[in-house]
Amino acid sequence: MYSSLPFHSRRSPVYSTQGICASSQPLASAAGAKILASGGNAADAAVAIAAALNVTEPCSTGVGGDCFVLFYSNQTKRVQALLGNGSTPEQLTLDRVLEAGYGPENPLPPTSVHTIPVPGAAAGWIDTVATFGSGNLTLREILDPAISLARDGFPVSPIAAYHWNNSIDLLKSAKGASSIFLCEGRAPKAGDIFKNPDLASTFEQLAKEGKDAFYNGGTIAHAIVETIQQLGGFMTRQDLAAHRSDFQEPIRTSYRDMYVWEVPPPTQGIAALIALNILEAYPSHWQHFHDAEHLHGLIESLRLSFAYVSRYVADPLHHKIPVAELLSKSFANQLANKISNRALSPKELGPMNLSFSDTVQFCAVDGNGNACSMINSNFVGFGTGIVPNGCGFTLHNRGLNFSLDKSHPNVLAPRKRPYHTIIPGLATMKNNGDLYAAFGVMGGFMQPQGHVQVLSNMVSSE
């Protein structure tokens, strides 16, 4: 039957006047919505979602990983960034890794204890609430929905059950994992009620003791260091105590009528901005949207942006990154002309990184127009799968992103943060600073591509 109703997707848009939360899990989105209804703002709600996702999708995320935040204040029209990513232990050197038989052609395995930098999510959550939150709710109130899900149990979703089941071998072999995440040797099935009382206790300790519980001599900090050292790792109490969330000015570019904002290096957010600059300079980008010529420009712009990012992006405390040059419109014009003239060489494009990871991206907007775009990850599934004794969460393996090539800017070194794939996104209007969208995608090295596709498709459909 013919209908004049336009079909945009399988889902109808959801409208709200009092705020809205979006995540990969309905129970987590409901946790954020509860915080908004209790007087919290977008930042408070985002942290509640992050904690609830740790409970309901531990196969992707958790407090044992890292997080990044872009927060938009509707009152000031300002966007701020929080980088919640940790550094390697001070005693973990490249020579030690090379002497163990690893190298550029033989990278560390995902289960290696040497792939665990200091987890930054716990500090990131607490600092997000303290810096961007409403002040109306305590951290305990914000974490309460997640604590209830962990202690009382929740029905496992089909997607989580699928990924959980794919990690059975890891969970059976990783220290401390099987007793927490497996039920009589199997992963929970869709609809099974799963409980994690150890994680509930971890969140209660965070709420009571703050960052000290995780980083400065608390029970969680002790368990992390003890577990890693038992497995031959080098993390110490001093490594945890030295961790700080990094507040930075976000990077941005102009795209049509808006500014697009990303978290600065060592994340790969700059790749999305470079690609958007190239696309805007590409002559036929808007005249032939979604035809072969447009797709050619889209693909090549992303290949170029990844090539430059893979050469330059590393911890800026260890390596100077030419951010202004890479984001200049003149640089984009040069690259767009090369694409138009089919003048790109394989050497210029360089190799593509086909690695993958599991991540959760989520956003919240409150009734006052503030927005929080946040992302949290273990990196590869359950990360290393290693569970600190009594804590209920796995430790991530973000250190896999280091290069073991001595000449590369992103080479592994003590107290250094690795190249990071996870990136939240946010866009504001150029003319008045109003929010256009808080957005993001999941999928490791694909994320800059996802940002470009999502945003350019949103703009083109208007």
Which pLDDT belongs to residue 282? 81
What amino acid occupies position 237?
R
Please say whether the beta carbons of 223 and 390 come within 8 A: yes
- CA distances (Å), 383 to each of 116, 177, 281, 342, 399, in order? 9, 11, 39, 41, 10
Give the model's pLDDT for residue 12: 77
pLDDT at residue 6, rounded to an integer: 63
Beta-bridge partners for 128: none
Helix (H, G, I), strand (E, B) or coil at 130: helix
Residues 304, 410: contact at Cβ < 8 Å? Answer: no
pLDDT tens for the chain, 462 residues long, are 455 656 666 677 889 999 999 999 999 999 999 999 999 999 999 999 999 999 999 999 999 999 999 999 999 999 999 999 999 999 999 999 999 999 999 999 999 999 999 999 999 999 999 999 999 999 999 999 999 999 999 999 999 999 999 999 999 999 999 999 999 999 999 999 999 999 999 999 999 999 999 999 899 999 999 999 999 999 999 999 999 999 999 999 999 999 999 999 999 999 999 999 999 888 665 556 677 877 888 888 998 999 999 999 999 999 999 999 999 999 999 988 888 777 666 656 655 554 555 688 999 999 999 999 999 999 999 999 999 999 999 999 999 999 999 999 999 999 999 999 999 999 999 999 999 999 999 888 889 999 999 998 888 755
How far is it, in rounded angstroms, from Cα 36 to Cα 272? Answer: 31
Catalytic (active-site) positions = 359
pLDDT score recorded for residue 358: 67
pLDDT in tens, 91-104: 999 999 999 999 99
pLDDT digits (tens, 9 = 90+) for 191-208: 999 999 999 999 999 999
Q: E strands of 17-75, at which residues?
A: 19-22, 66-73
**What token pair was written down for 401?**
């992103």
- Six token digits for residue 267: 């994340």
Tokens (6 digits) for 330: 């003149």
Which of 455, 448, 441 has its CA nearest to residue 303? Answer: 448
Amino acid at 204: E
Q: In what order do the strands lie in the sheet with 78-84?
A: 19-22, 358-366, 371-379, 66-73, 78-84, 246-248
Residue 9 and residue 450: Cα distance in Å, rounded? 17
Task: Quote the pLDDT of residue 320.
Answer: 94
Query: Distance between CA atoms of 66 and 83, rounded to whole angstroms?
Result: 9
The per-residue pLDDT for 275 is: 95
- Extract the runs of DSSP E, i.e. beta strands, from 33-183: 66-73, 78-84, 154-155
Q: What is the pLDDT of residue 344?
A: 66
- Backbone dihedral region for residue 235 (phi beyond 0: left; psi -120 to 50: alpha; all else: beta): beta
